[in-house]
Structure formats: C-alpha cells, structure tokens
Amino acid sequence: MKYLETVAAVILLRLNVKLRELGIEEPYEKFPAVRSYAERITEADLKYWSEAENSLEEEASHPDIQVRRYASILQLLSFDPVLRSLLDLSLALFMLPELSAVLALHLGSSLNLHLAFLMEGIESPDENEILKKAEQARLIVGIDFASSPIQYQELEPHARIIAYLSGNDSPDPLIMDSLEIFGTDILLHAPFVVPELIQSGSDFFRSGGDVLQIAGSGGRRFISKHIARELGQPLLLLAIDELTDEKPPLFEKKLRALIREAVLRQGIICLYRITDSHFLKEQKLFRPILSAGIRLILCTESPKLLLLSLHESQYRLLELPEALDYGERKALWEGLKREYLSGTDGSSFDPDDLAMRYHLNASEAARAMLSFAERGQDLKQDPDLFSRIVMQSLTATEEKVGRIVYPTIRLEDVKVSPTIREILNDVIGCVRTAHTVLEDWKLRSGYHYGTAVSLLLSGPPGTGKTMTANAIAGQLGFPLYQVSLSHIVDKYIGETEKNLEKAFLFAEKSNAILFFDEADSLFGKRSEVRDSHDKYANNEISYLLQRIEAYDGVVILATNIKGNIDPAFLRRLRYVIHFESPDAATRRAIWEGCITDDVPHEEIDLDYLAEQFSTFTGSIIKTVFLNACCLAASQDKPLSMSHLLRSIRLELEKTSTVTFSADALGKYSYLA
C-alpha cells in the first residue's frame, strides 16, 4: 500500500476500536468495502508507517513525497491530535465514500468535528476549544461558521488537500484559470529601474511586516515578484475582481481557495487591479488573509492607504515614481536590449534615442520590447516598426481619444512660401536638437515649463494646415495623434479636462505629435463669466494653458481664424504660422506636383491653370485634379486639358450662386 492508503487504513482500524468502545459490535459488518480496506494492511505497511511516524517533524528529508506532504499539513495544523484525526478521517472518506454510510448508521451523521474529538477521547470540549479547532480545520474541510452547532456540522474534505497530499500541484479549479503562480524556479530578469523599492519591500517583510501596498503604474507586479524572490517564497497573483465580482457564497469559496493555496505553498498573495471601490472591504477581503498568517501585497493606482487599522510596523506603502527621468529611461532600454535582443543584431536599437523618444514606464517598455523581439524583424527593414508596436501596446491598455496616423509625406511635398518653409525648418531643427539644448547644454533647470515645441497653423480652409502637420510628423519620423473633438469635449463638468489629460499622457508616452484641428473649439477666447457654464468653460481653457506649459513634446494646433484663439495661448506658443491663399507661383507648384510621371497625360498648360483660377487653394486644386483623373481613366484616355477644364467647371458651379459663365474659363473655355 502507498503511504496515504496506509494512513487511511490505520484510521479505519482506530475508528473500529472507538465504535466498539461505544458498544457497537462489528461496526463494519454491513460494509464489506470498508472492512476489506482495513484488513488489507500488512505488517510491512505498518512498519513503513511506523518508520514514517518518527520522521514527520523532519519531513523535508523524507524520500516519499506523500510522507513529506502529509507531514507538512500536520505542521500547518500544529501537529494537533484532534485535527490529525480529522485529516485522516477526511482522507479515508475521500478514498472510501462508503465510510459516510458507516458513520451515519452508527453516529447519526457523516464526518464532523465532534467525531475527531471523540477519536482523541474528548467527549465534551468547551466552546472556545471547538471554535479554535474549527478555525484551524478550515484548511482541510469546508466549515460554515454561520451554521450552528459547529461541532456537529457535516464536513466535506477539500479535494485540493487530497490532491496536494498525493503530489498534485494544480491549484483549486475555482481559481485555477485566474491565478498566476510565480514560483521560485521561474526566470526573472533583473530590475533595470527603482531597485531600491525591491530592497525596501523585502526588508519590510523580513522585519515582520504583514502588508505591502505598491502604488503607481509601471511594474508593480514585477516588483512584487522580485520581492517574493528575495524572500524565497512563491507569489500568488490574482486580479481582485475575480473575487469581488462574485456573489457572497462563491466569493467566500474562492477567497478560501486562495488562502488555502498560499498556505500550502507557503507563498505571498498579490492582489492587483484594485480600485477605489475596494477601499471599504478590509474586514471582508483582507482580514481573512492576514488571519491565516499570509503576507499580502496590494497593487494600486492610488497611494491612498487601503488598510487604515494596521500599525505602520505592519503596513508599508511604496510609491513608484510618476515618471522616469532620462537617465532611468536610458538604463531601462539598455537592460531590455540586453535581455530581449541578445544574440541578435540589435545595433539599430539605440537606448539613448529610445530614452529621448519614449516616456514609457517600465512595464510599457518591457511589453513593447518583448512584442518586437517575438516578431524577429529588423528595424533596418522597417524603421517605423517599433513605433507602431509602442502605439499598439499603449492603445491596448489606454482609452483612445484620437486617431493615430503614420504620415508618409515630407516637407518637400508641401507647397508653401519660402518664409513659411523657413519657419517649418526651424521647427524641425528645434525638435531634433531639444535633447542637446535641454540636457547636454544644461538648460532644463532654467526651464521648468514651456519646453514643448508648440506650433499654431492658421489660415483659410484648404491652404495646407493639416497637410503641413502631417508633413512635420513624417519629416521627424513621429506618428501623428490627431485628437478627435467628439471624444474630448464633454457636457459634464470636469470630463473634458480628463479626456484632454488622456490625450497628453498618450502623446507623452508614445512620442507622438499631438495635433488639435479646429483648435479654436478648445483654445478659444475666454468669456465674461455670466453663469456656471462660462465659469467651467474658462476653467477648461486655464487647464489647457497649464497642461501645455507642462508638456514636453510636440503639439500642433490648427485654426481657420487666428483671432479666435485666446491671446494667453498665443503668448505661450513657440511658433505661429499664418497660411494665406496660395499665390500664382505656389499654385503652379501645386499643379505641377500633382502631375507625376505615373499619370498618363498630354501637354498641360500650368501657367494658365495657376493664373486663371486665383481663388483655388491647394485643397481645391487636389480635388479638381483627382476628379479629372477619374474622368480620363473612365474614358481610357490620358489626362488632358479638356478633362481638367470639365472638372474645374464642376468645381466652380458647385460654389457659385449665379449662373455659370464660360468666360470664367478664359482661353480654354471651348474645352469645357
């Protein structure tokens, strides 16, 4: 017989003796399976069992896993004889369901705590002793403390305990799918930032602390794993809503299953995804864990203390930095490069460049680098790949309030005046040299705010403002984050500011250029306060002023009328460019830029097109050209002046309020 089978047989023999003492002759006579099981035990089995008895307090050295596991359970039960009898009876009942009928026949009910007391000769234990034993017995059997009397309550052995005794390490099915168990044998790379938090947390637990709260964002669970590793304990990680979203009976079962798993593994419990709603659940949720003597780590966004009743010697708060500085970001990227790109050509990854580009926290950076490493692609083949991966990793966890664009156009594709082109080149140069000026030249200390490269583009519709914003992003190799006003502006007080904060945070982390089209909807002039609506509208503008001053990236605003923008904004913007309707030379350049070698065409009179239609903006020219190309293609002919003139006539008729006159087309009117 295996060791656990022998244990079950021994308790059946003891139960037989106890029932005879109670005046029951041949207790197993009507139950041949139970009698047969008890009689199977041999001298060799008893000898092995007896030898194991002598080593139970040194279970770690025994070669038999069942002996080791059985001894570890006894140790958790403080080697209490009553609880040991309860454990043995539970084991026998699990192996022999017929035992339940034996107990019901002779004692009136199946397994209960009273029987365990009887097995040790205690017929009338006092109430305190019963409650104490019942609390300890929760590890091995299910007990309902709301049901009385507790000692006569029918008990069911936990299947997880039987599985554990047999050497099975699978968690309880109730929590198996949602529980992450980080064992001491699992590989974990070194911490590349804030190693002092790990040291502080492990020192706190070594000094006798009970609860550690890690607040902030960017690596809370990673730090928790390192703390557990420092202490040589496994870590059991569970999202708190896996417990709190359940109704009371299932909540209690899941919580007890989690506690049982932590006790069996001698591990630390880490609860994460904690929100403000969990701050009122100390007694119901956290106290049972602490009462079981289990160390607890709580991962929260807010530094607000969760457990107010604990002394500071029992409870410590660790706060992650709100943002990593340049040096920390560089160290992080250097470490991640060593960890994930070792053995590959990582020469295209420059930690210094990544630290300047991306303001990610540790977990966001690690997630992006792991995703890139799994793809096994080279940045030389696709320079924008890593930027897209960063965007994807952020949008997977953050609520979007805009649209991400990866522009392919460059500044040379934009037809503007020499004066505007000069300013645009200045903007590009300012962005590219920002790190040199602020960090290498040590100017950041003198500019605590206002370091954003901010640009206002104003001018009539169709003059190239949106195209210019895209060209700046394309020239710099940055994604463009075009803010959607429908997702930003909210009628409820304070919500607009929250949505704007999401946009700024997303752009800061991802190194995207933040683009506000129709900016006067948000950045308009403040009004005289006549009612609460005016007051809160002005508050939104004041918030925007402060947020742009604190911003450290690139932000572009576009408006049709510069005069609609609040003067306070204009003073804080680094660059302001006004787009006029294009002059003849610019219009000619736009027409010429449309007619590429890929477009089959006859001779086109560019001077005529530029001079004759002086009101056309760049946007109108592109629309007219596209319509003309569609017309030519439908006729299977190369693009000609007749196609362009017909398209121009449609455009003029679209916007004219009077009958169209062919004179508007000048010398080519006959073609329309």
Q: Which residue has the higher pLDDT, 404 or 261?
A: 261
Same domain, 416 and 551: yes
Beta-carbon-side half-sphere exposure of residue 83 (alpha carbons within 13 Å): 23
pLDDT at 656 over 70: no
Q: Could you tell me if 150 and 131 are in contact, meaning their C-beta atoms sit under 8 angstroms apart?
A: yes
Place of tokens 């000769």: 121
- Residue 25: count of CB within 10 angstroms of its CB: 7
| Rounded distance between C-alpha atoms, residue 312 and residue 209, angstroms | 9
pLDDT digit string, tens, across residues 28-71: 999 999 999 999 999 999 999 998 988 887 766 788 999 999 99
- Residue 129: count of CB within 10 angstroms of its CB: 14
pLDDT at 534 over 50: no
Find residue 316's DSSP bridge partners. 212
Q: Which of 569, 552, 667 is nearest to 609 (CA)?
A: 667
3-state secondary structure 409-446: CCHHHCCCCHHHHHHHHHHHHHHHCHHHHHHHCCCHHH
Same domain, 570 and 657: no
Same domain, 265 and 289: yes
Q: Which of 471, 506, 508 is nearest to 488 (CA)?
A: 506
Return the ∠ at Cα 617 (arms to 616 and 619), rounded to 5°. 120
- Residue 50: count of CB within 10 angstroms of its CB: 11
- Is 331 inside a domain boundary? yes
**Domain containing residue 567: CATH number:** 3.40.50.300
Range with the poorest average pLDDT among 54-58, 452-456, 470-474: 54-58
Same domain, 273 and 243: yes
- Is 592 inside a domain boundary? yes
Q: Which of 229, 321, 212, 317 is nearest to 270 (CA)?
A: 212
Q: What is the pLDDT of residue 493?
A: 63
Tell me the pLDDT band of 499, cut-offs 50, 70 and 90: confident
Q: Which of 227, 309, 313 is nearest to 270 (CA)?
A: 227
pLDDT digit string, tens, across residues 330-380: 999 999 999 988 766 667 788 988 888 888 999 999 999 988 888 876 666
Tell me the pLDDT band of 528, cut-offs 50, 70 and 90: very low
Among 393, 419, 447, give the residue marking a domain's end.
Answer: 393
- State the pTM of this model: 0.78
Place of tokens 């004889």: 81
Q: What is the pLDDT of residue 207?
A: 96
Q: What is the pLDDT of residue 280?
A: 57
**Domain containing residue 627: CATH number:** 1.10.8.60
Share of the chain above pLDDT 90, in %: 60
Same domain, 418 and 557: yes
Give φ, ψ of 516 to 5 degrees.
Answer: -105, 105
Max distance between CA atoms of the chain, in angstroms, equals 126
Q: What is the pLDDT of residue 325?
A: 87
Domain interval for residue 649: 584-671
Number of H helices, E strands in the chain: 30, 14
Q: Could you tell me if 495 and 401 are in contact, meaning their C-beta atoms sit under 8 angstroms apart?
A: no
Same domain, 504 and 598: no
pLDDT digit string, tens, across residues 614-655: 989 999 999 999 999 999 999 999 999 999 999 999 988 887
| Rounded distance between C-alpha atoms, residue 667 and residue 672, angstroms | 11
Determine the distance from the C-alpha atom of residue 472 to the mean position of all C-alpha atoms in its chain, rounded to a whole number: 31
Q: What is the pLDDT of residue 630?
A: 96
Q: What is the pLDDT of residue 399?
A: 57
Q: Could you tell me if 255 and 288 are in contact, meaning their C-beta atoms sit under 8 angstroms apart?
A: yes
What is the number of residues in the chain? 672
Same domain, 58 and 114: yes
Same domain, 201 and 340: no
Same domain, 111 and 139: yes
Domain count, the chain: 5
Tokens encoding 472: 């700046």
Q: What's the first-to-final CA gap in the chain, in angstroms?
A: 103
Q: What is the pLDDT of residue 657?
A: 57
Same domain, 208 and 293: yes
- Is 402 inside a domain boundary? no
Average pLDDT, the chain: 88
Q: Which of 171, 19, 18, 165 is nearest to 88 (CA)?
A: 165
Mean pLDDT over residues 127-149, rounded? 92
- Is 406 inside a domain boundary? no
Q: Which of 37, 39, 6, 140 is nearest to 82 (CA)?
A: 140
Same domain, 608 and 644: yes
* Interhelix angle 195-206/220-231, nearest 10 degrees: 50
